[in-house]
A = this chain, B = another copy of it.
């Protein structure tokens, strides 16, 4: 799994904000853009990066494109971190 791309995608604060917005449900690019002061082109670029990192899905409905969180990749990251943490706690100092 391409963790490199996932973490790179997550390193940008605007992209993290997009994910936080999508947590409440699916949204169109326009709805997402309305929460930012940047250009539509910037939001499109962020959506492309998030999609390439498998953090979001594109969903076509009628003539509109909606974006949706991909929970399974978030679960993969959580598993990787949980695994690190598990044995990390064995060496944690009081």
Residues on A facing B (Cβ under 8 Å): 3-8, 10-13, 16, 19-20, 22-26, 68-69, 71, 74-75, 77-78, 80-92
- One of B22, B24, B88, B89 near A22 (C-beta < 8 A): B88
A82 proximity list for chain B (CB < 8 A): 78
Copies in the complex: 2
A10 proximity list for chain B (CB < 8 A): 3, 7
* A80–B78 CA distance with the chains assembled, in angstroms: 10
The residue in chain B whose Cβ has the minimal distance to the Cβ of A77 is B81
Verify B84–A23 contact, CB threshold 8 A.
Answer: yes
Verify A78–B85 contact, CB threshold 8 A.
Answer: yes
The residue in chain B whose Cβ has the minimal distance to the Cβ of A20 is B84
